[in-house]
Structure 1
Amino acid sequence: MSLRPKRIDFDATAGAFLKLVEQLYAESSRALSETEPETTSQTQPKTQTHIQIQTLPTTSAFMDPFQQVYDLCTAYPRPFDARLFDAVAAFLVATAVRAKKRILSQNDIVPTYSREWAAFRTASTYLDIICEYLNKITAKQRPPAHSTPTSSVSTSIGAARRFGAVSKSANSLSTPGTRVFERQKIASLAFLIWKECVLVSIKTNSGNKLMNQIFDYVAQDRNGTPAVESSVVVNAVESFAHTFLLFAVEVNEFAPQQLQYYIQEFEISYLENAKLVYLLMSRIPNGIFPLLETIQSHIISLGKGVVNRLRPGAQKDPREFIQAIIDLHFKYNEICIKYFSNDAAFNASLDKAFRSIVNESYESAAQNFPELLSRFCDGMLKKSTKSISTDAELEEKINRVIILFNYLNEKDVFQKFYSRMLAKRLIYGLSASDDLEMNLIAGLKRVCGFEYTQKLQRMFTDITLSEEYNRLFHASIQRNNVNLGVDFSIFVLTAGSWPLTGSGLEFHLPDELEKSVSKYTEFYMGKHSGRKLSWMYHLSKADVRLTYLDKKYELNMSLHQLGILLLFNKAEKLSVNYIATQVKVSTDDVKRVLKGLLDMEILLVGTGAALVGSSEILLNFKFSNSKRTKLKVNAVAQSESATQESESARTAVDEDRKLFLQATIVRILKSRRTIGHNQLVQEVIDQAKARFLPSVPVIKKGIEQLIEKGYMERSKERKDQYVYVA
C-alpha cells in the first residue's frame, strides 16, 4: 500500500471504489436472504443478524478500497476528500431509497424492513471501517468545541445543513433539489440517511404502517400468539433506538456551540412521541439506560443554568431562585408520569439530578441551598400584605418544598436557620397561619423523624402554654384587685428548645414595669417550684402612646428604647451620661439605643452634631407625622451583618455535629460493647446521614476525643477494635 500522494483521476478511482462498495451492499443483502432464520429464545430474543460472506476476496482485492480512499484523500495537488464524501452520501441515499421501495412493495412490511435494516447496518459498518482515513480528516476539519455561532442565522443554517436540506437563499453552496449533509463519520451519515430516507419516508407515505404493524406484533406476542420471529420485531425496534441515540451523539460530540438550540428542538419534537419511543426502547435489554443518562444530564444542565442565572440575587431574596427549582422539578416529574409511565428508573434519574443541583457548594455559605430554602419558607409562612396565595396554594407549595428538602444532604443546616426564623415569627406574631406552620413541620417529620422536629414542635407548645399562663395570670390579678399600670403579656420559652441567646446588654428595668415582672414571677413560681426564669429583655417589644402632642401617636419600640423614653416623664432634657446611669447601660450602648429615637426625631440632640457623653437629649414637643399615627421605631442596630450571622450559624452547626457524632458513637458502643473501626465508622455514617453526611476524618476525630474523655478505649488484643468503658 503506497502512502505517497499522487495525481488521481477522481472519476475513474471513485467509480471503481463505489463499484466495490456496491458489491459489498449487494453481498450483504444476498447473504442475509440466504440465511435461515435462527431459533430464538423466548426469554432472550436475538438482536443481531449474522451474515456470512461466502466469496472471500484476495489480499490485494481486499486492500483496494482502503488504498482508493487514501489516494483520493491525499491526491496531489488537491485532495478529493470532500468530493468522496459527497459521492458516498449520494450512493447511500440511492441504496436507502431502493431499500425503501422494496419495503413498501410488501403488505407485511416488518420482516422486510428488519431484513433490509440488518443488511444496510452490517454493510455500513464495514464501509465505515474502509473509510477510516476519511473519518479522521472529517474529524480534524470540524470547528473547535469552544467556537460559537456568530448569529442566530448562522445557528439555524448550521442546524438545517446537518439535519435537512438548505435552500440556495440560506447557503450559496447548495443547489435547488440537492440534499446537503454536514461532514461527519460515514457510520453516522449512513444511519442518518436511513432515518430520513426510510423511517421518515415510510411514516409519511404509508400512514405510519410500519409502527402500527410493530405494535400489532408486540400485542400478539404478549397474548402468546406471535405472528413473526421476536428477533424481527427487536431488530426493527433497534433501528429506531439506533437513529435516536445517534442524534444525541451527534449533538454532544459535534455541535457544542449549538447545544442549546438542539436541546430546545429535542424537547419540543421528542416529547410528542416520547411515550412510543420509551415503549419501544424498553423492549430492548438495557435499552432505556442511555435515555436515562441523557435525561439526567439534561436536567442537571437546566438546574445549573437556573443556579448561575438567579443565584447572585438569591441572597437578598431567594423566592425567585427557589421557585424556579421547584417549577423545574414539577415539570420533569410530570414528564416522568405522563410520558414514561412513572417508571421507577426515570424517577431515580430525576432524584439523582436534583440531589446534584441542590447539594452543589458555593463560595459564599449564605448562598448554599439549605439556607436559601429556609429563607424561602420564612417568606412563604410570614404575614404579608402583598401575598395573594390561598391556603390551598400554600399547602401545595409546602409539599414541593418538602420534596426539595428531601434531596438535601445538610438537613441540619436547614434546621438551624429554619428554627431561628420560626422563633422570630412566633415571638412577634408574624406567622400567617399556625396550620400551615404545622403542615411544614409534619412534612419535615415524615422525612427525618420525630427527633428532628422535636424542638420545633416544643416551640409551638410553649406558645400555647404561654397564652394559657397569661389568661390565668390576668384572672389572678383581677381576683386580687392588683393594678399593674400596664397591659402585660409574657412568653415562657423552654431554654433548650429555642435558638435564643442573650444580647450581652445589661438593662435596669423601669419602675413602671418592675411591678408587672415581679408579680408574674411570683405567679409562675407558685405553679412551678424549682424553675428559674431568665428574662430576655432584648427580645421584648412595647407599644407606647404619646400624650404630650396635639395628635396622639402610638409607637412600637424595643424595651431598651422604652426604658430611655420613660425617663422623660420626669424631665424634658437629659444628658447621655445621666441616661446611661439610670438604665445601667454603657454610654456606647445608650448611643446605639438612642439612634432609632433620634432618627424619627422623637428626641433631639441639644447642642453639637456629634453624640457624646455630655450631649443633652431633648424631648421634641413639635414631633408630627402627617401620614400615620401608628409608627415603628427602628430597633438597636445589629452588630452582625447577614454574612456574619450566617457564618455564626454555620459555626453553631459544626459544634452541634461534633456533639451529635460523639453521642452516636457512644450509643453504638454501648449497644455493641466491642466493635471494629470500619464497622463503627459505617454505622455512624448510616445513623447520621438523615441529618448530614459526616466525613471520615471528622468521625475519627470524634473517636479520639471520646478516648481522651474515657468513654471508650482501644482493644488490647486488636488495635482496630474499640471497647466501651462503662
Structure 2
Amino acid sequence: MIESHMHRLVQMENSGLINMIVDEKYEDLGRMYYLFRRVSNGLVLIRDVMTSYIRDTGKQLLTDPERLKDPVDFVQHLLDLKDKYDKIITSAFRNDKTFQNALNSSFEYFINLNSRSPEFISLFVDDKLRKGLRGVTEEDVELLLDKVMMLFRYLQEKDVFEKYYKQHLAKRLLSGKSVSDDAERSLIVKLKTECGYQFTSKLEGMFTDMKTSQDTMQGFHASHGSDIGDGPMLSVQVLTTGSWPTQPITTCKLPAEILGICEKFRNYYLGTHTGRRLSWQTNMGTADLKATFGKGQKHELNVSTYQMCVLMLFNDADRLSYKEIEQVTEIPTFDLKRCLQSLACVKGKNVLRKEPMSKDIVDTDTFLFNDKYTSKFFKVKIGTVAAQRESEPENQETRQRVEEDRKPQIEAAIVRIMKARRVLDHNNIVAEVTKQLQSRFLPNPVVIKKRIESLIEREFLERDKGDRKLYRYLA
C-alpha cells in the first residue's frame, strides 16, 4: 500500500514533502520517514525530492540581487537555512547519514555557483569579529565560528577565502577593531586544523608582528621619550612584507610636524636592526587630532592618515581648492576624493564645507573649514567613504592575483607527482594534481596543461618521443 501511494503522498500540492519542510512540520516528516523506510525505494524518493528542493531554493537565493546586496545578511540566511535542515534531519529523519550527505552535497553545489561566496563568508566573519560579538558568551562565539567553518568546508576556492580573510584581518588588527583576540586565534586554529599549517602561517605571522611592534614602540618611547616633549605621539606597526596582504605602496606628503618624529623612529629602528628597509604605508594609518571650532568648542577627531594631512592644511588657511590640496599632499586622486567626500559630504561628520555643495568631488571644488561644526560627542570618528564589498573591477583584480598565486602551487604539485612516478600520461597528471590541490582550490585542467608546457620549456619534464601524451621527469 505504501509503495503504491508514496509518489502521490510526497508530491501532494498542499501537504506533500515540500510543504512539510517549508512549514517545519517535524512530526509529520518523522511519520513519513518511518512509513517510507519500510519499502525499498521509499527513503531514496524522500531524499531525492528534498535534495532537488534544497538545490533549487539555493540557486534562487544566489540569483536574488536583493539578497546579494548585503553579504552579512546573505551568509546569515545560509546559516539559518542549514540550521533548519539540520534540525529536520536530526529530529525527523533520525540523523540518517545518507540524508546528511545529501544536504552537504546540495549546499556545496549551490554555494559554489556564486564566485563571490568566499568574499561574503569572510565579510560575515569580519562583521562579527569587528563589532557583532559583544555581550555574548565564549560558547556562543565558538558555536558561531563552528558554523562559519561548516560553510568554509563547502567552498571549492578556499584560497580565495584566504585572500579576503587576510585583508579583513589586517584591517581589524591595524585599526584595533577586533572584538576579541581569543576569537581571532580560535578561528585560525580551526582553519589550521582544516587546511594545515601552510594555510595559516601568514595569518599567525600577522599576530606575531603586532606583538613585536608593541615591544618595538616601548623601546622607542623609552629611548626617545624626553626628545618628543609636547610634539605629536607616534605609534608604529612594523609589518613583515611576506605575511601581510600586499598593498601598492602609495605615498603622500606628511606634514612637517609628523615627518620629524617619523624620521626619529626610522633612525631608531634601523639602528637596532641591520639589513632592513622601512617604507611608510600612509594609506593604512590613522590619527587622533585635537580640533577647536567656533565658540571654542573642542573635539578629538579620529581620522585616517590621509584625512589628517588634509585637515592640518587648514591650520594655516581658511579656504583651499581641490587642486591646491592635491598639490600639497600628493595623495593619489582616487583616495583624495574619497577622503574629501568623508570630510565634507557626510552629515554629522562634515568638519569641512564644500563649494558648490554636492555629493561628488570634482577638480573645481573649493573647501573651507566648517567653523559651525557641532557634535554631542567629544570624540568623533570620521570614517572613509568605502563600499563594504569589493566593486567588480576590484573583484577582478583580486581574482587575477589569486590566479597568479595558483600557478607555482600547480607547478609544485606536478613536479612532486612526476618525481615520484617518473613517467605519467596527461590525464593521470591532471587527476593527481586535482586530488592534491582540491583541499585549497579546484585547478582548471587548461591551466594545468599550461603549467606542464611551462615546465617542459624549463626542462623539468619532457614529452615521450613515441607518445605525445606521455611525460617523463628529467632528474
Fold shared per TM-score above 0.5: yes
TM-score class, shorter-chain normalisation, is 0.7 to 0.9
Q: Which amino acid aligns with 2:395?
A: S
1:208-258 per-residue CA deviation (whole Å, 9 max, x = no partner) reads xxxxxxxxxxxxxxxxxxxxxxxxxxxxxxxxxxx0x44432256786997
Structure 2 stretches lacking a partner, 5+ long: none
Q: Which amino acid aligns with 2:231?
A: G
Q: Which amino acid aligns with 1:680?
A: I
- The answer as to whether partners of 1:296 and 1:350 remain within 8 angstroms in 2 is no
1:442-591 equivalent positions in 2, closer than 5 A: 442-478=189-225, 481-483=227-229, 485-502=231-248, 504=250, 506-547=251-292, 549=294, 550-585=296-331
- The answer as to whether partners of 1:355 and 1:407 remain within 8 angstroms in 2 is yes
Q: State the Cα distance separating 1:299 from its structure 2 match.
A: 4.4
Aligned mate of 1:619, from 369, 374, 377 = 369
Structure 1: how far apart are the matches of 2:147 and 2:435?
26
Aligned mate of 1:635, from 384, 387, 393 = 384
Aligned to 2:6: 248
Structure 2: how far apart are the matches of 1:264 and 1:560?
51
Structure 1: how far apart are the matches of 2:109 and 2:231?
59
Aligned to 1:423: 170
Q: State the Cα distance separating 1:330 from its structure 2 match.
A: 3.3
Structure 1: how far apart are the matches of 2:337 and 2:110?
46
> TM-score when scaled to structure 1?
0.58
Aligned residues: 469
1:51-79 per-residue CA deviation (whole Å, 9 max, x = no partner) reads xxxxxxxxxxxxxxxxxxxxxxxxxxxxx
Q: State the Cα distance separating 1:563 from its structure 2 match.
A: 1.8
Aligned to 2:67: 314
Distance 1:650 1:346, change over 3 A: same
1:78-93 equivalent positions in 2, closer than 5 A: none
Aligned to 2:159: 412
Structure 1 stretches lacking a partner, 5+ long: 1-190, 192-242
Q: State the Cα distance separating 1:542 from its structure 2 match.
A: 0.9
Q: State the Cα distance separating 1:489 from its structure 2 match.
A: 0.7
Structure 1: how far apart are the matches of 2:445 and 2:356?
63
Aligned to 2:399: 650
Secondary structure of the corresponding residue to residue 623 of structure 1: coil
- The answer as to whether partners of 1:292 and 1:349 remain within 8 angstroms in 2 is no
Question: Is 1:392 aligned to 2:139, yes or no?
Answer: yes
Distance 1:529 1:250, change over 3 A: same
Structure 1: how far apart are the matches of 2:131 and 2:399?
27
Distance 1:589 1:301, change over 3 A: closer
Structure 1: how far apart are the matches of 2:88 and 2:386?
49
Q: State the Cα distance separating 1:554 from its structure 2 match.
A: 1.1
Distance 1:587 1:415, change over 3 A: closer
Q: State the Cα distance separating 1:541 from its structure 2 match.
A: 1.0
Q: Which amino acid aligns with 2:107?
A: F
Aligned to 1:372: 120
Q: Structure 1 stretch 346-355 or stretch 432-441: which is displaced more?
A: 346-355
Q: Which amino acid aligns with 1:318?
A: P
Q: State the Cα distance separating 1:650 from its structure 2 match.
A: 2.2
Q: State the Cα distance separating 1:686 from its structure 2 match.
A: 0.9
Aligned to 1:239: none
- The answer as to whether partners of 2:170 and 2:206 remain within 8 angstroms in 1 is yes
Larger radius of gyration: 1
Distance 1:334 1:615, change over 3 A: closer
Q: State the Cα distance separating 1:261 from its structure 2 match.
A: 4.0
Structure 1: how far apart are the matches of 2:61 and 2:393?
25
Distance 1:645 1:390, change over 3 A: farther
Structure 2: how far apart are the matches of 1:443 and 1:484?
46
Q: State the Cα distance separating 1:636 from its structure 2 match.
A: 6.6
Distance 1:357 1:388, change over 3 A: farther
Structure 1: how far apart are the matches of 2:80 and 2:342?
42
Q: State the Cα distance separating 1:545 from its structure 2 match.
A: 0.4
Structure 2: how far apart are the matches of 1:580 and 1:356?
49
Identity of aligned residues (%): 36
Q: Structure 1 stretch 516-525 or stretch 708-717: which is displaced more?
A: 708-717
Answer 1 or 2: higher relative contact order, Cα 8 Å, separation at least 6: 2
Secondary structure of the corresponding residue to residue 382 of structure 1: helix
1:282-336 per-residue CA deviation (whole Å, 9 max, x = no partner) reads xx8xx4x641452254145145425525843333323443333323333443454
> TM-score when scaled to structure 2?
0.85
Distance 1:570 1:661, change over 3 A: same
Aligned to 1:227: none
Distance 1:636 1:517, change over 3 A: farther
Structure 1: how far apart are the matches of 2:302 and 2:243?
28
Q: Which amino acid aligns with 1:624?
A: Y
Secondary structure of the corresponding residue to residue 722 of structure 1: strand
Q: State the Cα distance separating 1:373 from its structure 2 match.
A: 1.8
Structure 2: how far apart are the matches of 1:688 and 1:273?
43
Aligned mate of 2:450, from 696, 701, 717 = 701
Distance 1:683 1:660, change over 3 A: same
1:629-649 per-residue CA deviation (whole Å, 9 max, x = no partner) reads 3223343768x9633332322
- The answer as to whether partners of 1:307 and 1:321 remain within 8 angstroms in 2 is no
Distance 1:613 1:568, change over 3 A: same
Q: Which amino acid aligns with 1:643?
A: E
Aligned to 2:469: 720
Secondary structure of the corresponding residue to residue 131 of structure 2: coil
Q: State the Cα distance separating 1:691 from its structure 2 match.
A: 0.9
Q: State the Cα distance separating 1:725 from its structure 2 match.
A: 3.9
Q: State the Cα distance separating 1:268 from its structure 2 match.
A: 4.4
1:587-636 per-residue CA deviation (whole Å, 9 max, x = no partner) reads 8875654443333553445799998878765434x332143332233437
Q: Which amino acid aligns with 1:598?
A: A
Structure 1: how far apart are the matches of 2:183 and 2:367?
46
Q: State the Cα distance separating 1:419 from its structure 2 match.
A: 1.7
- The answer as to whether partners of 1:423 and 1:459 remain within 8 angstroms in 2 is yes
Q: Which amino acid aligns with 1:568?
A: F
Aligned to 2:100: 347
Secondary structure of the corresponding residue to residue 289 of structure 2: strand
Aligned to 1:295: 47
Structure 2: how far apart are the matches of 1:542 and 1:395?
34
1:191-202 equivalent positions in 2, closer than 5 A: 191=1
The alignment's C-alpha RMSD in Å is 3.6
Distance 1:724 1:512, change over 3 A: farther
Q: State the Cα distance separating 1:265 from its structure 2 match.
A: 8.5
Aligned to 2:77: 324
